Amino acid sequence: MASYISIPRDLSKVKTKVFFNLTKRQLICFGSGAAVGLPVFFAIKLLFGADISSAVMGMMFVMLPFFLFAMYEKNGQPLEKLLKQIINAKFKRPKIRSYKTNNYYACLLRQAAAEREVKRIVSKRHVQTKNTCA
């Protein structure tokens, strides 16, 4: 029997694996999650005298954002880029955008008015120059 390996058609989506079949980004996020989560586990266990299951739940609650940043990806964008776009759309940019159209007829009217103004100014100067020469 022959075994087949599926090869992705778009090679830009293939990410290089560094260690334990994880990418560099995932290793950094998991490592920082463990660096924050383990002290929280021991702190909850020792300071509050809680049982192990409560300490594990507290540790998981603290480590969850690190796991989300490591694993979640939508449309090829990691979570922090998505959050930045959401914050820009919801809080930083205005809710109502003013949409101003440039009507072609109004543009022609403005152009005609500008041409009349130029003709008026030129004819006024022309009349002034004729009077000064005499």
pLDDT digits (tens, 9 = 90+) for 40-74: 999 988 888 878 888 889 899 999 999 998 888 88
Structure tokens at 78: 């990691």
Report the pLDDT averaged over residues 89-96. Answer: 83
Report field, pTM of the whole predicted structure over 0.85: no
Residues 6+ apart with CB under 8 A from 104: none
What's the pLDDT at 101?
Answer: 77
High-pLDDT (> 70) share of the chain, %? 81
What's the pLDDT at 84?
Answer: 93
